[in-house]
Structure 1
């Protein structure tokens, strides 16, 4: 079945239709119209899959996609244009040009935590660059996956864009096909499998993974505002966000004061939602049991669980060390460990000993501290005096490094990810410089002097 879809998409791509700029812009506009038509169904599907409330669905799933589409439509002609670059004096008489070329037939494998946004955002890049695409929505959010399929079937022919629902067997079947590009978002474990399969056909990949993203809070931070922003970023989406602060690393002298603010804002923002059943669920029983098992030690706030509804009350754990169970894996749930450090230099050494996280957040009013952390700790991207908000701008590349992934996207970076830059040297025929030829010894000596 998927072999047939792939073959038809290959044929469609080779027809050149998807490469036409007007076709791409029209496709993006059609995508937006299709999403608008299914907005209510998407909201209902999010509620059914993991109790995601309509305001959060619009803000983190739908609205952000509209913004990405609008940005791409506005700038696409500029992005796709042929780019002239400088030519060295050794190439006198020639011009250097970069052509923007789509990869061809692409595969986008999406996760469950933001099941619509993280399926459609890469698709915007694939369409903008002139590719065709096969989408693989997550099987862990089946209602959302069904709506995504209906949207695609309504607005695009399957030889252009196709959504393939299913579980592991679908992923395996798709990864056996010789796609021209693979974009994967999910766990590091599965990311390694995707990369291994891609390597068999030398397929280029983007891997958007995760990791234990720290929030560093120094004695020079605005503690109240730091706590407010950390709590929002950590417990939104029930902590099921790849760039959520995975733990807080606070300076010893301010840790207790910070904890007071963390508990205050956690109660203020989420107590009533949990109490009245409006707090978002954990996606499935396995993840629920895993996260519940991490809530141990000095739990200073929350931690109640409801297995029937798969909900976990936002929990804060104090006096955590690096050997705590919650520090041995990415939490990906509403549990916030709080650690303390004596000196910033020691904190940086500790963080450098960990695998590179997808994000890092530093809270301080001291520029020297801020620059030291940004310079000395490897991570994908992040924010100063904020958390998670950096992923919502199309002007910053989003992506990880090492264990947290490779490649980047958002805005123009999405277009670039799905585009091959074809370098072309256009040489003149009006004259022919002799230095390249074996019988031009004197010219070669001159060139050697010029290139020293």
Structure 2
């Protein structure tokens, strides 16, 4: 057997032994991940700084803290999540027990992403452990230093019979996908998501695909320019724009644009100084390949803020573009870098029309002093998530599901949604062996009287509805 076959076989044997099913075992493994984060905090922060030039602030907030929160929330609520969920019954099953059992799927494959390499690998693992699964983690090879920490240090904290971390690139991932898994959780681009889904289909393996897309940001006339600029600049240029839920472009009218641009210039200087390349708080593009891809997008439209770059440092300045056309290269793909195009529209109706002509995004943002406008955008569009008058903050609530729709993904996680994603909701009905006379109405030979009685016993009636015969 190949090494991957050996790993999957070992984990499947452990799963079938029932080892992962108890609450105590799940909590012990969740606590182990928490210990890893705490004891290797310095090493993790150093790896993130090497991969993405992440400041300790951004690493702590968006990588370590978010993962710790998920672990603690799962531990605090696991007992209630694991309980059978009893459901309503019809007259025919009134004396029986009907419930939903939350069963683990088995052996899960979790493929992480490079832009938040700790967060996007470990938070799905929290869901897999909480639900009682075994799991193989495949961190992204693009964030090489973070991958090395996860591959070399995390296994010492986890039960090796139930969890494994594997390294490698496209070739290794392709070999891994030939194995039969019981669930696959992937975070990455829509193009690779299609490959994952095709591989999963060979074994009819269920998948969660956390993808991306071009997230629109509509800015209405009458907003406070500086407050709006602060919030958009923070969410767009956090992690050097390498965030799947970052605003990808702005839609606003010309008058609003003229107010917004100088306000964004002021916010950028306040956040990162006159030379953002010297700021300890501004990130870098993850690799030379991605640097070249993002740099090429600077040719779209007209640069009004930023535009500079340094290939050796993998630095691209926080940049704002105007006079951008729908056909420009910067509008043809998710930017995933520190560039923010502004498209002009006449009004909210035109903005909604533009949004709805394109693939449904992972996140959608609307800024307006009028709540009716924000709610109008919400009502008339479709997206994975929505946030009014701010950017990315909906992600901080683990009470909300996180996931895409259509081209931006399928499935959801965070908080209890992670537990549910990695659980098979098993329908269970336990009946009495007695009272057989009650069942005679469903047995042949059929009669009109039996039909009437049976329908009364199993049908749900519409409330408040009266039918005159």
1:437 corresponds in structure 2 to 443
What does 1:97-176 correspond to in 2, within 5 Å?
97-176=99-178
Pairwise CA distance, 1:6: 0.3
Secondary structure of 2:86's partner?
Answer: strand
Pairwise CA distance, 1:273: 6.5
Single out whichever of 264-273 and 314-323 deviates more from structure 2. 264-273
1:3 corresponds in structure 2 to 5
Unaligned runs of 5+ in 2: 462-469
Kept after mapping to 2: 8 A contact 1:35/1:151: no
Kept after mapping to 2: 8 A contact 1:222/1:363: no
1:179 corresponds in structure 2 to 181
Pairwise CA distance, 1:324: 1.8
Counterparts of 1:253 and 1:246, CA distance in 2? 20
1:229 corresponds in structure 2 to 231
1:33 corresponds in structure 2 to 35
Counterparts of 1:60 and 1:263, CA distance in 2? 25
Match 2:296 to one of 268, 293, 298? 293
Pairwise CA distance, 1:280: 1.2
Counterparts of 2:94 and 2:305, CA distance in 1? 70
2:214 corresponds in structure 1 to 212
Pairwise CA distance, 1:157: 3.1
Deviations 1:155-201 (A, max 9, x none): 11322111101111111111000000000000000000000000000
Unaligned runs of 5+ in 1: none
What does 1:307-346 correspond to in 2, within 5 Å?
307-346=311-350
Counterparts of 2:333 and 2:268, CA distance in 1? 23
Deviations 1:333-358 (A, max 9, x none): 00000112112111111110010100
Kept after mapping to 2: 8 A contact 1:221/1:365: yes
Kept after mapping to 1: 8 A contact 2:378/2:386: no
Match 1:50 to one of 49, 52, 55? 52
TM-score relative to the length of structure 1? 0.97
Pairwise CA distance, 1:39: 0.7
Counterparts of 2:370 and 2:55, CA distance in 1? 38
Counterparts of 1:132 and 1:4, CA distance in 2? 14
* Correspondence 1:428 to 2:432: yes
* Correspondence 1:352 to 2:356: yes
Single out whichever of 226-235 and 258-267 deviates more from structure 2. 258-267
Match 1:94 to one of 88, 92, 96? 96
Pairwise CA distance, 1:277: 5.7
Kept after mapping to 2: 8 A contact 1:140/1:284: yes
* Correspondence 1:414 to 2:432: no
* Correspondence 1:383 to 2:387: yes
Secondary structure of 2:413's partner?
Answer: coil
